[in-house]
Structure 1
Amino acid sequence: MQLNTLDYILIIGFFSIVLLIGIIVSKTSGKNTSEFFLSGRTMPWWLLGLSMVATTFSTDTPNLVTDIVRTNGVSGNWVWWAFLITGLLTVFVYAKLWRKSNVNTDLEFYELRYGGAPARFLRKFRAVYLGVIFNVITMSAVTLAAIKIGSIMLGLEPWQTVISAGLITVTFSALGGFKGVVYTDFLLFFVAMGGAIGAAYYLVNLPEVGGIGAIMANENVAGKLSILPDFSNREALITLFIIPLAVQWWSSWYPGAEPGGGGYIAQRMLAAKNENHAIGATFFFNIMHYALRPWPWILVALASLVVYPDVASIHEAFPNVASDKLGHDLAYSAMLTKLPNGLLGLVLASLVAAYMSTISTQLNWGSSYIVYDFYKQQINPNASEKRLVAVGRLSTVALMVFSATLALLLQNALQLFEVLLVFGAGTGLIFILRWFWWRINAWSEITAMFASGIISILLKLTPLGPWLFDASEGLLPSWTEYPFVVVVTTVIWLAATFMTQPESKEVLRDFYKKIQPGGPGWSSVIREAEKDNQEIAKKDEKWSVPAGIWAMLLGCVLIYTCMFATGFWIYGDYIQAGVLTVVALVSGYSLSRVWLKLKDNIL
């Protein structure tokens, strides 16, 4: 594969624009921490929504989807499609609550909802646990994908990819802060989407692929086209469909799909102009993320099965790729090598855009934890704004170095995705309920966090896991591993909740008065406050959660039918596509009616 002058112009021009944006906004971003991490809380819904989409469009996402499709078929994507339920629950229930909290990071929430030493410990521990450990692992997966793309498409050594891609990203991230991230995300979104769609169209129509009809008729592809899993295959049905929809979406903490909102999604909601813009941004993100974006990647993955039916054929075509980096996820990069000049430059620029968008967001988000929730709280409470911004920039560089180092040791993205899912299993229910049930306390979260982590480590890194869940010799079916972690973790944190003291009256009443979450879970707190002549509940504010859940269900129907209708239009199954399109229109109209009842003016 050879890049020509046009390709280099596209790539260098893109890099130049991104760095220019970082330099232009660096002065205002460096004024104070509110500007550096939240852009002064002035962002509109559409810009934040595009930023969320661009952030989750990372270099490892096409590789992950390709790995899933080649291994488990199109229906294997339910492992992440199920997170739409989480996303829409955030839209219609939690977005306004986060914006009302007015915290600087979602970890600051701990000292708003809980009190005393346990709350302080939870905040600083999660700052290190999420801001450094989890964040570094996530960024390393993205960097691993960049390494594989560089190896396949440009013949680069891993260290060359890490230095060239990482240096530019960390420079503009440290200069521009959150505002630089969001502004460049606007550009990155269109470049990334244009590259993905252009690549899919060209690669599906390659002579050796033969178009969508030939793909569907190919024996390597025929068994992998179904959007729903094979209902006669009990294990596949349970692992790929039932567990994600019944358990996974509410029980697991996963970056970008946190139950109840959190992480960099919460950071963008907190940066919104107001509650309405926070809601609009998250809904726009979920539509784009699930309904419009997966199919270009899925089509390339299906086409790759025609050209490279197994890992051995990929290795044969690219013998210089290190054996510890071989996997089905390489097929996406392998297909991209067949692009013509011009489109090749655009796609490479789009992959760079995807990498930079995700890494810059992770860097700024992780740095915000280090600055607000660790450094300012534990090391230097009296630090000036100038000092805090400097610490933010320094921690941005440190996070990049750590993640790049780890990326050189990893093999594939799906492996890491599965580990992260299990590692957070069982904690998600707390993040959903803590807003609406007064009895949950800091010890509930501390216990759940450690229980889930310890159980996951025992199952993944000791003989206990194979003894219990080995596919052929284990005591339990392999598909029970995830529900097992969820059940055990939930039992442990519920026991800890009732064995420890509840939060103080003052903490609970202050939280309710500020947030107004509503619901029966707070009725005892409200009654006790009234006995003490304290009015903490606004009488004119109705509980919006039932309507929010109804809106969530309609939103799921709307977005899933849009996604699947798109697939059937592509497959040429026009009857099913037409029926689903009508269902999407009806559900969209119904959702608009419910949404208007929730808020007279959302946007």
Structure 2
Amino acid sequence: MAINSIDVGVFVIYCVFLLVLAWWVSREKSGHTKNSSDYFLAGNALPWWAIGSSLVAANISAEQIIGMSGSGYAIGLAIASYEWMAAITLMVIGKWFLPILLEKKIYTMPQFLEQRFDKRVQLVMAFFWLAVYTFVNLTAVLYLGALAIKTIVGVDMLYGMLFLAVFSMAYSLYGGLKAVALTDIVQVTLLVLGGLLVSYLALVEVSGGAGFIAGFQVLLDKTPESFDLILSPDHEDYISLPGISVLIGGMWIMNLSYWGFNQYITQRTLAAKSLREAQKGVAFAAFLKLLMPVLVVLPGIAALVLAPDLERPDMAYPEMMKLVPTGLMGLAFAALVAAIASSLSSMANSVSTIFTMDIYRQLHGGVNSEKKLVMIGRVAAVTAMLVAMIIAEPLLGKMDQAFQYIQEFTGFFTPGVVAIFILGFFVKRANANSALLAAVSSVVLSILARWLWPELPFMDRVGLIFIVCMALGLAACSKKNSDKAIDLQQVDFSTSGGFKIAAACIVLILIALYATWW
């Protein structure tokens, strides 16, 4: 399906507007040269609304919109647990983790590990995150984004990836995190509006024109199994979403790692004006996460009724976008590209931050000139994007559900990541050896479990291996407190009344959702 000239015009106007906005917010005051704090942490000046919208914009991309909609097509509403459980995870992070990270005034997560443990732990985890961002995240977003563009407008995959890479770099490479975060406000607005439009039109189509409420009822009647939030052990996709584990098991470990210790996510909160501003930002993001399944999962379930014979599940969302009329198609297409470009720019910025601050600066004798650090960061971002473009097709071309693949692959490392930070935050006797043991054990044990116990759902595997990593890390702790241990008495864990109310509301909403579709 090719979009017409009106849709192309709407899309081009959006692209030009975003580039102009990015340039405008990135401009420097007379006499001021952009330094590393400006480029990597937006000068520690982000307000709550920019933090919250940027958190969601960085998160919701091709692997969520295309991949999660595809999983909605193949599995059903159960895949929404990743979104809904993330909401309560964000509140936990805002209460217990952000106060420690912001008190340390860090640029990156590996930098925290160097402060708490030593340079060995910092470098090991820096290389790990660079590999994951480049070979998993950037690659998946580029590939799935290009797949969506090909399905909607017929552009060749290579040209689609090239456009996404150049566009995301064009508005983020000069301005750094500030340009990314402040343009994300526009991106999220467009994402929500475009997603609601696609969901609305899909439901109306399902109802035969009787309205979106009637369409939702049709989905409930025709695909009741798609609305099981907790899958039973005899479900064919139980291995992907193993029942109660989405509430009290490995899902927590996956979410804590992603929302608490993932550089391209936490970088927004590290750039906050203050702790209170960061906490308001994560609360805002948590409420947006509650809305996301309406935008990305419902279209996939609707596609199961409207297009039951798709070649692959990941084509569900692009197929539903074909329902959007002329003019609005340009808006919906812009919303999709907005989400993809936002995540690409966020990941590339985090790659540049980690490479520059944790690897280049460490291996080249500490502090370099601010101008050179910014330049090195830009080169690192472009290099990572090029590598991702080259390997995308060979790596993901034969995948059926890319979202589930990404989750399982990162699940090899997630238990160790969470164990390291929990030990570093709350165990005074934890040392570098205990952290490294937890990290190495996570990978080794995950590979062994995947080989020797293949029928074990990966989410259960993540939960079990986290427990083992924690036990091994605790066993390797020193007999006395580390000199680098965090003095929790000096950390402000208090929260505002508004934060407490927001947390209570999110818990009640989640109870209602799971009670309805248990």
Tell me the TM-score range normalised by the shorter chain: 0.7 to 0.9
Q: 1:57 aligns with which of 52, 56, 60?
A: 60
Partner Cα separation in structure 1 for residue 492 and residue 225 of structure 2: 50
Partner Cα separation in structure 2 for residue 469 and residue 299 of structure 1: 31
Larger mean Cα displacement after TM superposition, 489-498 or 103-112: 489-498
- Amino acid paired to 2:504: L
Structure 2 stretches lacking a partner, 5+ long: none
Aligned equivalent of 1:357: 342
Q: 2:440 aligns with which of 445, 450, 474?
A: 450
Partner Cα separation in structure 1 for residue 418 and residue 37 of structure 2: 28
The CA deviation at 1:424 is 1.6
Partner Cα separation in structure 2 for residue 266 and residue 296 of structure 1: 24
Q: What percentage of aligned pairs have identical amino acids? A: 24
Count of paired positions: 506
Aligned equivalent of 1:392: 377
Spell out, residue by residue over 1:69-113, the C-alpha distance to the aligned partner (whole angstroms, 9 max, x if none): 222221233245333342221012222222211112222111322
Q: Map 1:24-35 onto structure 2 (within 5 A).
A: 24-28=24-28, 31-35=34-38
Aligned equivalent of 2:76: 73
The CA deviation at 1:49 is 1.0
Alpha carbons 1:79, 1:240 under 8 Å: kept: no
Alpha carbons 1:371, 1:391 under 8 Å: kept: yes
Aligned equivalent of 1:378: 363
SS at match of 1:37: helix
Matched, 1:153 2:156: no
Aligned pair in 2 of structure 1 residues 267, 55: CA closer, same or farther (>3 Å)?
same
Matched, 1:82 2:85: yes
Alpha carbons 2:419, 2:469 under 8 Å: kept: no
Aligned pair in 2 of structure 1 residues 92, 361: CA closer, same or farther (>3 Å)?
same
- Amino acid paired to 2:243: F
Q: Map 1:551-566 onto structure 2 (within 5 A).
A: 554=504, 556-561=506-511
Aligned pair in 2 of structure 1 residues 502, 274: CA closer, same or farther (>3 Å)?
farther
Q: 2:259 aligns with which of 257, 261, 268?
A: 257
Aligned equivalent of 1:162: 161
Aligned equivalent of 2:4: 4
Larger mean Cα displacement after TM superposition, 409-418 or 74-83: 74-83
- Amino acid paired to 2:440: F
SS at match of 2:415: coil
Partner Cα separation in structure 2 for residue 140 and residue 180 of structure 1: 22
Partner Cα separation in structure 2 for residue 7 and residue 204 of structure 1: 22
Partner Cα separation in structure 2 for residue 4 and residue 203 of structure 1: 21
Aligned equivalent of 1:37: 40
Aligned pair in 2 of structure 1 residues 246, 549: CA closer, same or farther (>3 Å)?
farther
- Amino acid paired to 1:441: N
Alpha carbons 2:62, 2:141 under 8 Å: kept: yes
The CA deviation at 1:3 is 2.0
The CA deviation at 1:153 is 0.6
Alpha carbons 1:425, 1:482 under 8 Å: kept: no
Alpha carbons 1:69, 1:302 under 8 Å: kept: yes
The CA deviation at 1:192 is 1.1
The CA deviation at 1:225 is 2.4
Aligned equivalent of 2:16: 16
- Amino acid paired to 2:277: H
Aligned equivalent of 2:424: 434
Q: Map 1:66-215 onto structure 2 (within 5 A).
A: 66-114=69-117, 119-206=118-205, 211=211, 212-213=213-214
Alpha carbons 1:54, 1:358 under 8 Å: kept: yes
- Amino acid paired to 1:31: K
TM-score (normalizing by structure 2) = 0.88
Aligned equivalent of 1:278: 278
Matched, 1:269 2:273: no
Partner Cα separation in structure 2 for residue 455 and residue 502 of structure 1: 26
- Amino acid paired to 2:36: T
Aligned equivalent of 2:243: 241
The CA deviation at 1:239 is 4.0
Alpha carbons 1:45, 1:272 under 8 Å: kept: yes
Aligned pair in 2 of structure 1 residues 399, 107: CA closer, same or farther (>3 Å)?
same
- Amino acid paired to 1:293: M
SS at match of 1:206: helix
SS at match of 1:408: helix
The CA deviation at 1:493 is 5.0
Alpha carbons 1:178, 1:364 under 8 Å: kept: yes
Spell out, residue by residue over 1:382-421, the C-alpha distance to the aligned partner (whole angstroms, 9 max, x if none): 4100000000111110111122223222032322222223
Matched, 1:483 2:460: yes
Alpha carbons 2:6, 2:327 under 8 Å: kept: yes
- Amino acid paired to 1:483: D
Partner Cα separation in structure 1 for residue 173 and residue 236 of structure 2: 49
Alpha carbons 2:130, 2:351 under 8 Å: kept: yes
TM-score (normalizing by structure 1) = 0.76
Partner Cα separation in structure 2 for residue 414 and residue 99 of structure 1: 32
The CA deviation at 1:273 is 0.8
Partner Cα separation in structure 2 for residue 23 and residue 401 of structure 1: 23
Structure 1 stretches lacking a partner, 5+ long: 316-326, 471-477, 519-536, 569-575, 577-603
Alpha carbons 1:440, 1:502 under 8 Å: kept: no
Larger mean Cα displacement after TM superposition, 57-66 or 173-182: 57-66
- Amino acid paired to 2:347: Q
Partner Cα separation in structure 2 for residue 278 and residue 416 of structure 1: 28
Alpha carbons 1:60, 1:413 under 8 Å: kept: yes
The CA deviation at 1:198 is 1.1
Alpha carbons 1:33, 1:385 under 8 Å: kept: yes
- Amino acid paired to 1:285: A
Spell out, residue by residue over 1:111-160, the C-alpha distance to the aligned partner (whole angstroms, 9 max, x if none): 3222xxxx101112211210343444112111121121112111121101
- For the pair shown, the structure with the greater C-alpha radius of gyration is 1
Spell out, residue by residue over 1:405-453, the C-alpha distance to the aligned partner (whole angstroms, 9 max, x if none): 2322203232222222344235424423431221222222212222212
Partner Cα separation in structure 2 for residue 181 and residue 543 of structure 1: 29
Q: Map 1:211-222 onto structure 2 (within 5 A).
A: 211=211, 212-213=213-214, 216-217=217-218, 221-222=223-224
- Amino acid paired to 2:436: I
The CA deviation at 1:193 is 1.0
Alpha carbons 2:253, 2:466 under 8 Å: kept: no
Alpha carbons 1:132, 1:366 under 8 Å: kept: no
Aligned pair in 2 of structure 1 residues 209, 368: CA closer, same or farther (>3 Å)?
farther
